[in-house]
Amino acid sequence: MSDFEVRKDDLRQTRFTSGEPRRDEVADGDAQLEIVKFGFTANNVTYGAIGDMVGYWRFFPASDTAYGRIPAWGYGDVVASRSAGVEPGQRFYGYFPMSTYLTVRPQSGGPGFIDVTPHRTELPAVYNRYVRVDPGQPHEDAVMILRPLFSTGWLIAEYLKNAGRVIVSSASSKTAYSTTFVLTEKGIPTTGLTSPRNRDYTTSLDLYDEIITYDEIATRLSGSGVYVDFAGNRDVSRAVHEGAKLTKSIQVGLTHWDHPRAGDGLPDPQPEFFFAPAHIERLSKELGPGRLQESIRESLSRLAQRLDRFMEIEASDDVEGVFRAFVDGAVDPRKGYVLRVA
């Protein structure tokens, strides 16, 4: 019965606090879920790094305003409910805190429910939707880890479907290679930028048409293209902006969260922030929400057939240790982490 919290102004300061207890009874209209496992990637560090900018801290308020609870995508089992259609024993996939339990206020919506707890209703709806799932599905853990990252990658690739070439930083990261997988299916050539340490792994993905390490950008990167920045490192971004003839620059992540951030002062084009929920809303109107989600699922299923080459799943209860390893950049990109708070 714990909550994992991090200090908002220093992600290296972490702690566990007493979380909500397991309840035999909940208020009318509520349901309590036990968070059985969640995926952890560099994307979760980004949630913390830009928590104030985008509002990630607001989903699951911490016990002290100096601290925050970083969200993660995972599975929760219903342990108590007084909400119609949500029954004990059911499992749902969705947005959870790194905690043992979470109480929600379900409102029926599609194959699951929407959490309408008052403080969440003003936040992006995509993060409040929980989908009913059956345990033991094929590639269950890998899909849990990749699903939100792949959805973002699919949306980026759709946005850039007319690009002539795409240059991707942090090319070994899961969101980056998800994006590249979809771009490749669309026939768009890609250049992956990565660290010397991760070059062999990035090459083994067999996705990028060209791989350049960060220290080679000044001498090897040329030509035109769109830059998709998952690293958020100002020095890398400046080298890319100066070395290539960019038609567009998109900021997505902050895998290099502790480096000076990309932003003002870069040569044109100035970076635009890619906020996935806004694109989901746009495409849902254009394609219909059912067709959009089906398109993403179909594409993810094609990637899932190759995941053994891309990812090794590691399950752990050491939430603090894994989190700090990601914050320090000391994680093997091949690993996919499945965590739980005991």
Report if residue 266 sits inside a domain.
yes
Q: Which residues touch 202 (CB under 8 Å, ≥6 apart)?
A: 171, 172, 192, 194, 208, 211, 333
Q: Are 261 and 254 in contact (CB under 8 A)?
A: yes
Q: How many helices (H) and strands (E) does the chain have?
A: 11, 18
How many residues would you count in the chain?
Answer: 342
pLDDT for 264 beyond 80 = no
| 270, part of any domain | yes
How confident is residue 255, by pLDDT bands cut at 50, 70 and 90? low
Q: Is the dihedral angle over the CA atoms 81, 85, 90, 95 positive or is it negative?
A: negative
> Residues 46-84: pLDDT tens digits?
888 877 777 889 999 998 999 999 999 999 999 999 999
Query: What would the mean pLDDT of 79-107 be, rounded to a whole number?
Result: 96
Residues 247 and 316 in one domain: no
Asked if residue 78 is part of any domain, the answer here is yes
Nearest to 150 by CA among 185, 179, 184: 179
Q: Quick check: is 17 in a domain?
A: yes
Residue 92 to residue 69: CA distance in whole angstroms: 20
Closest CA to 329 of 231, 238, 234, 239: 231
Average pLDDT on 102-116 reads 92
Nearest-Å Rg of the Cα atoms of the chain is 20
Residues of the domain holding 193: 146-277
- Do 11 and 112 lie in one domain? The reply is yes
- Does 14 reside within a domain? yes
